[in-house]
Structure formats: C-alpha cells, structure tokens
A and B are shown apart, each in its own frame.
Chain A
Amino acid sequence: MGTIKSHKGKHLSYAKWGYIFLIPFFLVYCIFSLIPMLSTFYYSFFENYMSGLNQIGPNFVGLANYAKLISEGDLLKYTANTLIMWIIGFVPQIAVSLLLAAWFTNSRLRLKGQGFFKTVIYMPNLIMASAISMLFFALFANDGPINNILMDLGITSESIHFMSSTWGARGLIALMNFLMWFGNTTIILMAGMMGIDPSLCEAAEVDGATSMQIFTHITMPLLRPIMVYTLITSLIGGLQMFDLPQILTNGLGQPDRTTMTLIMYLNNHLFNKNYGMAGALSVLIFIVTGALSIVVFKTLTSEKG
C-alpha cells in the first residue's frame, strides 16, 4: 500500500514539471501577445485619434468605430484589393505546384536533377520580401532593365509604365508572391503525394488507367486534406500581405490606392495614431483569420485520426 502511494506521489511530482516547462511560453505569450491583443480589442470601442497635435479621446463610443470603418467604404476596397492580388498569385501557384509535384513523384517519368530544381524553386521563399520588392521596383522601373530588355528585343517600342497602371502594379505583386511561394507549395504537395500508397496507383495502372485518370481519381481525392491546408494557410498569409505592396508603392498603394492592402491600411492608422480605427480594423481581421484558423486547426487535428 505504502509503496503504491509513494509511486503515485512520484508521478504527481513529474506532472508538476510539465507545468513548470510551460511557464516561459505562457508568460511571454500573455505579456507580448495576449494582453496587447485584448487591449487592441478594448481600444476599438474608444474614440481616440490625433487631430493635428491634439489627442482626441479616449472617449467610449461603443461600436461607432466599426460603423465608421464599414460605412467609409475604404475597408471594402482594400479587402477586395488584398483578395484580388492573392487570387491572381495563388491560382497559378497551386496549378504549377500541383503539376510539378505530380511530375516529381511520377515513377514513370523519373525526372533527373530533381534536387537541383527543388533547391532553386524554393529559394525565393527565403529572401527578404521587402528586398525582392525593392529589386522589382528597380528592375521594372520606367527606364529600368526590364524595359531596356523589352525595347532591345523589339517587343515594345516605348517603355511600359508597369507601376502606374492598376493591373501592372497588382500583377507585379502577384508575380512576386507567385515566385516566392510556388516552390514551398510544390514541396508540401510532393510530401503529400509521396505519402500515398503506391500500390493504389499500381493497381489502377494494371487495370489500364491512364496517368491522367490516376491523378484525378486517386491522387487528387487523397490529397484533399493537404490541399485544404495549403489553401487556407495561403489565404491567411494573403490577408496579411504587407511587405511587397508596402515597399513597391512606398506605402501609398499606387495607383489610386488599388494596391492598398488591409494590413497597409492598419499600418497607416497606427502611424497616424488613429487608435480607435486601428483597433476596430484589427478586430475585424482577427475575426476573419480566426475563422480560417479553425479550419486549419480542424485539418491538423483530424489528420492524425
């Protein structure tokens, strides 16, 4: 009896260590993330901004900031900008990544130099987004190298003003996003495809299925959880789009604020000490990403079965 009891006691003392090891994480999380986030939500209910050099507020105004945010119309415009730029980057990204992942894992094709290609296409993902954006700004400038090359090749007779047209600027941002992320997506999808039992594909092959049929009827359905994960994490990342358009347009979202994203909008409010509006905007972004996060959470926990 005594021994069992002491054994139990020992077990409990180990559990204590579990809690102790969790302390740093939760302490830091509370101070640097949770409390700031809650105080952000709190700010959203107050009128609090700078009018010239005078600080107005904080006065409690209930949901007035939210009403103002939604009725002003900018929110809708910037949400649309963000989503449009995300979509025109993501659609080619997922298409190319699926194609490459299918090719790389295809046992009949046996492509050589896979290690090299994977290394190269992943590389842009690690490079400073702001530096890539600055580089593209210089390369695609009106008298920049890209225009020089296009004119030397006779493709265009006068320089193309990429950054002063809406679709030119959005296209550049989407292009950078595509270059930065398709390698990452390819590798994740590849890992998913390699997890598929090869005997399934072999059996289908024996039954006379073409590689296209195998892809659409076996690979794609089995890949669904990873596709959902990729889609939602990319959307969450897309909603946070900031560095690329911020640097490319110097924070102005030119032309005519058509490349202004939600986080750029938030950033402007923060720099103008427009705290009430910044708070309300943060809450809205939180709600949207929170809802999306739950989907990711579900795919992460259900996959383990």
Chain B
Amino acid sequence: MEKEKSYSAELRVKRAICYFVLLLLTLACLFPFLMLLINTTRSHSAIQQGFSLVPGGSLAANFNNTVHNETILIVRGMLNSLFVSTATVVLSVYFSAMTAYAIHAYDFRIKKAVMNFILLIMTIPTQVGALGFVNMMTAMNLKNTYIPLIVPAIAAPAVFFFMKQYMESSLPLEIVEAARIDGSGEFYTFNAIVLPLLKPAIAVQAIFGFVSSWNNYFTPALMLTKAEKKTLPLWIAFLRSADFAKFDMGQLYMMIAFSIFPVIVIYFLLSKFIVQGVALGGVKG
C-alpha cells in the first residue's frame, strides 16, 4: 500500500516535469510568431522604441503600405507563389499516383529494378544538378517562366514512395480486376476508380507538396529575375538585401507575416490530417 502511494507521488512529480518541459517547448515554438504578429500591428517608431506585448494600432497602416509598396511586390509574389504551388501539387500528386500504380498493379520484367531506382534517387539533392539545370533552361529560353519550377514535379520520388506505401495497405487489386471484368480500360480504371480511393493519401501529399513548393527558395532564385515573376521567398531574400536602416520595420514584419501566416492558418485547419501524415510517411510496413 505504502509502496503504491510513493509510486503515484513519483508519477505526479514526473508528470509535472513533463508538462513543464512541454510548455517551454510550446513557448519556444510560438513566441517568435507571436512577436511577429504583435509587431505587424505596431508602427515603425513604436518598434524602434522597444518590444511590448501590447499590440499597437498600426495594423491597417502597415497592411496598406505593404500592399501598395511599388518596389516590393508582395501581393504579386503571393499570387505567383499560389499559382506555382497549385500547379506543382496537381502534377506531382497525379503523376506520382500514376507511377506508383504502374508498380503496384502491373507485373512486368523490370518492375523491381524501377522501384529500386526510384528509391535510390529519392535522396539525391536537386542542387547537385543545378548547374546543368540552369544552363539547360537558359538554352531553352525558359528562364523567367514557371515551367522549370512546375514540370519537374511530375517526377517526385518521395511522393511516389508515399503513394506506393498507401496502395500496398489500402488498394486491393480485386477492385482493379473487377473493373477489368466490367470492361473498363486501364487508363479509365486509374482515373475513375483508383484515384478516388487514394483521396486520403492525395490530401496528405497535396498539403506537403503545396507547402514545400510555397517555401522553395533555391531553384526559383536561379530561374526568376524579373520582379513581376518573383515568388514570395525571393521577395524575402530581397528584403534582407535591402538597406535595413532605412526600412519601415512595421512593413517589414507585415511582409514576413504575408509569407508565414497563410501556411499557419491552413496548418491549424488541417493539423490533424498533417500530423497523421507525417507518422504515415515515417514508418513503413
């Protein structure tokens, strides 16, 4: 009995420590963004005077200045990013599912080799081909277009791998057989029967694909030089290279907020989905 009691007291102490550590980490994760949020509501001079947790009254002014800034086209950048990310996601999800379906549903001689090849190239960084990529896109006159950013998404080994895993656990081949007996063509089966069954996997990969394209900096920086073509991360880099001393800090924080908060809002709306998706992607079998 006594042992039981000390046991539960120990457990309570341990729990308290756990909650304390978790609270600290939560704070570490949220505080920078809270500071960002507060500073978007404060004027340049207020920000210069020091930090305060009390929001200021300049939210509308900062917003207006940012939207109407004629050198730093943040809204244009946002629309560009939105277009590139959406197109990227559609292509990468559709064609990765198709590639995974080829391996999952058909038996052919080099299947195993193809699967291994894709797994092997999965972790090769895109940067190692950057030199050839830049030269080739320049030669093809595709610089300052979105083609070099969008089309390569058709070959996305990591998305393929996720789709393949998902099919193994949730796409019984009997369904495909049944469709064949009903006279459905292979292409039609994939589009009309298989794709709808992959919805959960597609949703997870759509979110990740969108976000990673939205955040992508390396390749766009090599491809896009015209102001009206630039995506958000390029404008963030531009901000960093601008003369900081002369800059309106309220606007600066607002511009950072423009690139961060859309993702945070989407994330909290869909977080349940996303956290499950990470776990799914991490463990196999």
Contact = CB atoms under 8 A, between A and B. Distances in A.
Interface of A: 11, 14-15, 17-22, 24-26, 28-29, 32-40, 42-43, 96, 99-100, 103, 108-109, 111, 115, 117-124, 126-139, 141, 143, 145-146, 148-149, 152, 179, 182-184, 187-188, 190-192, 195, 226, 229, 233, 236, 239-240, 242-243, 246-248, 250-251, 263, 266-267, 270, 275, 278-279, 282-283, 285-286, 289-290, 292-294, 296-297, 300-301, 303-305
A122 B275 contact: yes
A99 B57 CA distance: 42
A117 B260 CA distance: 20
B136 A35 contact: yes
A25 B124 contact: no
A96 B25 contact: yes
18 contacts: A20-B102, A21-B102, A25-B98, A28-B95, A28-B152, A119-B271, A119-B272, A121-B26, A122-B278, A134-B240, A135-B256, A187-B279, A242-B217, A266-B127, A286-B124, A297-B123, A301-B119, A305-B285
Contacts of B48: 143
A20 B101 CA distance: 11
Contacts of B45: none
A221 B127 CA distance: 35
A99 B25 CA distance: 12
Given A250-B240, A292-B123, A131 B130 contact: no
Given A117-B22, A128-B236, A236 B263 contact: no
B14 interface: yes
A40 B253 CA distance: 39
A182 B21 CA distance: 14
Interface of B: 11, 14-15, 18-19, 21-22, 25-26, 28-30, 32-33, 35-36, 39, 47-48, 50-51, 95-96, 98-99, 101-103, 105-109, 111, 114, 116, 118-136, 148, 151-152, 154-155, 160, 186-187, 190, 211, 214-215, 217-218, 221-222, 232-233, 236-237, 239-241, 244, 249, 252-253, 256, 259-260, 263-264, 267-268, 271-272, 274-275, 278-280, 282-285
Contacts of A117: 22, 25-26
B124 A131 contact: no
B132 A127 contact: no
Contacts of B127: 240, 242, 263, 266, 282, 285
Most buried by A among B99, B186, B222, B240: B240
A206 to B, nearest CB: 15
A131 B260 contact: yes
B145 to A, nearest CB: 13
A135 B32 contact: yes
A30 B18 CA distance: 50
Contacts of B28: 179
A87 to B, nearest CB: 19
Nearest to A44: B131
Contact of A40 (B116, B130, B241): B130
Contacts of B36: 135, 139
B34 to A, nearest CB: 11
B267 A123 contact: yes
Contacts of A22: 99, 102, 114
B205 to A, nearest CB: 14
A251 B28 CA distance: 26
A240 to B, nearest CB: 5
Contact of B233 (A108, A131, A149, A292): A131
Contacts of B109: 15
Given A43-B132, A109-B18, A135-B36, A127 B256 contact: no
A103 B183 CA distance: 53
B240 A149 contact: no
Given A33-B155, A250-B240, 7 more contacts: A22-B114, A121-B29, A128-B215, A131-B256, A188-B279, A192-B282, A246-B237
Contact of A195 (B47, B119, B283): B283
Contact of B260 (A127, A138, A278): A127
Contacts of B126: 33
Contact of B279 (A35, A36, A145, A191): A191
Contacts of A192: 282-283
Contact of A135 (B190, B221, B260, B272): B260
B37 to A, nearest CB: 11
A279 to B, nearest CB: 6
A282 B129 contact: yes
A305 B28 CA distance: 40
A152 B49 CA distance: 12
Contact of B283 (A18, A188, A236, A289): A188
